[in-house]
Amino acid sequence: MEDKNEKQDQNLPAFDVKEKKSLKIRIKSALEKREEDMAINDVIFTEKLTPAEPDDETKPLNKGSVDMWFLLWTMLLICFGAVMSYSASAVYAEKNYDSATYFLWRYIIFTVASVAVTAVFVALARPWFWRLFGVGSYIAAILLLILVIFIGDTGGGAQRWIEVGPITIQPSEIAKMAVVMVLALYMSKYEKQINSTHKFGGNFKHGFFVPMIIIGILCALIILQPHLSGTIIVGLIGVMVMFLAGTRIKWLAIFVGIIGVVGILFISFFGYSMERVQIWLNIDSVDPLGEAWQTLQGLYAIGSGGFFGLGLGSSRQKFGYVSQPQNDFIFTIICEELGFVGAFVLVFLFGLLVWRGIKIGRNAPDKFCALVVWGLTLKIALQVLMNIAVVTNSMPNTGISLPFFSSGGSSLMLQIFEVGIILSISRFSTQKK
C-alpha cells in the first residue's frame, strides 16, 4: 500500500527531489506566516500559554509577581495623600460636616474598597482580558457621557456628575482611561500599517484618521457638559498614545492644532471660560476679593510655606481662605505646611512612579500592553503637571484634580484601578527586570 505522502508527491509537477522538498518547505512556511498574520491582526487574540525557557529573557512569563517598586511608590503616594487629605480638610469638614475626620474616613473607605476590587483583577486577569475591557470601557464611557447630559448633576455651571447612591461618578474620568485602552488596542492591531512608509500603506488612515475619530467622539461629548479641561486632557492623552504607537509627527501637529482651535472657539463661546483666561492674564489687576480670590489665596499659601513649611496641620489658608482646600488646591496646602521640601517629595514620588511605569511598559509582553502602561502612566504625569500649573497660576484655573490627593471617592477608586491594570500587566513582563 502506497504511503499517502507518496501519492501526493505523484501529483506534483516533474521536479527533482530537491525541488519538491524546497516547494514543500515554502508552502509550509507560507501557511505558517499566514496563520501568524491572522493571529496578529485579530483584535482579541490570546497570548501563548507555553512557559518561557529559563534562559530566554525575551519571552513573556506565564505568571509572575507584580512590579514591587511601582507598588511601593503607589502605596507611599496613597499614604501621603491620606495624611494631607485629613490635614487640608479638617477645618472645612468640621464646619460643614461636624467631623474633622469626615474626608479622612471617606479616603480610607474608598481606598480599601478599590484595593479589594482591584486585587482580584491583578491576581486573575491576563493580558487578553484587558483587550476586552478596553472595548467595554470605551462603550461604557460613551453611554455615561450621553447619560450625564440628560440626568447629570449640575455644579459651577456645568453638568458633569451622575449620583449612584453614596458615589458620584464623573464620566469624563472614565473616558480618560477608556481612550488609552481602546487606542492601544486599535493601534497595536494596525502597527504594521501605521509604521508603513508607503504612500498608501495606511499610516494616515490607521495612524491618524481613525484614532482621531475615536478620540473625537469622547471629546465632543465631554465638551457638551461643558468641560474644557476634561476635553483637553482626553485629547492630549490620545496624542501621547498616538505618538508612542508611531503616528507621523505631521499628523500629530495637525491634531494638536485642531484641539487648539476647538479650545479657542470654546473659550470665545462660553463667557465663564473667557473670564478665567482674563483673570489668568491680569491677575495683578483683578479684584482680589472677587474672581481672583481662590487663585491669589493659593499663591499666598505656597509663598508662606518657605523652605520647610509652617508644620503639618499648621496651615492658615485652610481656615476659609482657600475654598474646599481638600480638592483641586490641596497642593497649595502641602506647600504651606511642608514647604518646598514637601512639594519636592511629592513631585519626586510621582517622578519615581512615572519612571517605573515607563520601565514596565518597555518590558511588556506585546505592543498593546506597552501602550496601555505608557498611556496610563503618562495620564498621571499629565494631570500632576496641569494641577500644579493651575494652582501656581501658570495656566488658567480649569479645575484639575491632583491624583491620589484631591478629594473625590470615584476618581480615587479609578486611579487605584488604573494602577491595578499596570500591576496586572507587570506580572507578564519579560524576565529581564
The pLDDT tens digits of the residues spanning 37-94 come to 544 444 444 444 444 444 444 454 456 789 999 999 999 999 999 999 999 999 999 9
Q: Does residue 246 have a pLDDT over 60?
A: yes
Q: Between residues 14 and 292, which one has the greater pLDDT?
A: 292
Listed residue (307, 329, 303) closest to 318, CA to CA? 329
pLDDT on residue 2? 46
Looking at per-residue pLDDT, the higher value among 22 and 93 belongs to 93
Q: What average pLDDT does range 116-136 have in this prediction?
A: 94
As given in the structure block, the three cell numbers for residue 11 are: 501529483
CA distance from start to end of the chain: 57
| pTM given for the model | 0.83
What CA–CA distance (Å, rounded) separates 169 from 293? 28
**Grid cell for residue 174:** 472614565
Determine the Cα–Cα distance for residues 403 and 314; give it in Å rounded to an integer. Answer: 23
| Between residues 138 and 5, the one the model is more confident about | 138
pLDDT of 42 reads 44
- Mean of pLDDT values over 303-321: 90
Question: What's the pLDDT at 21?
Answer: 60
What is the model's pLDDT at position 50?
A: 40
- Mean pLDDT to the nearest integer, 249-262: 86
6-24 residues labelled b (16+ CB within 10 A) or e (exposed): eeeeeeeeeeeeeeeeeee
Residues 6+ apart with CB under 8 A from 148: 159, 160, 161, 162, 171, 225
Residue 295 has phi, psi (to 5 degrees) of: -65, -45
Residues contacting residue 405 through CB under 8 Å, at least 6 positions apart:
77, 80, 81, 84, 85, 330, 331, 334, 346
The answer to whether the Cα torsion of 411, 412, 416, 422 is positive or negative is positive
How far apart are alpha carbons 189 and 40 in whole angstroms?
7
Quote the pLDDT of residue 169: 83
What percent of the chain clears pLDDT 90, i.e. is strictly above it?
A: 48
Residue 242 is predicted with a pLDDT of 94
Bridge partners of 154, per DSSP, are 159
The per-residue pLDDT for 150 is: 85
Mean pLDDT (the chain, rounded): 83
For the residues 265-285, what does the mean pLDDT come to? 74
Residues 271-280, mean pLDDT to the nearest whole number: 73
pLDDT digits (tens, 9 = 90+) for 399-426: 788 999 988 778 899 999 999 999 999 9
201 pLDDT more than 90: no
Given a cut of 90, whether residue 380 has pLDDT beyond it is: yes
Q: How far apart are CA 359 and CA 211, in angstroms?
A: 25
Please, what is the angle between helix 409-426 and helix 330-362, to 10°?
Answer: 20
% of the chain residues with pLDDT over 70:
81
pLDDT given at position 176: 94
DSSP-derived 3-state class of residue 194? helix
Give backbone dihedrals phi and psi of 310, rounded to 5 degrees, phi first: -85, -10
Give 3-state DSSP helix, strand, coil % of the chain, rounded to 5: 65, 5, 30
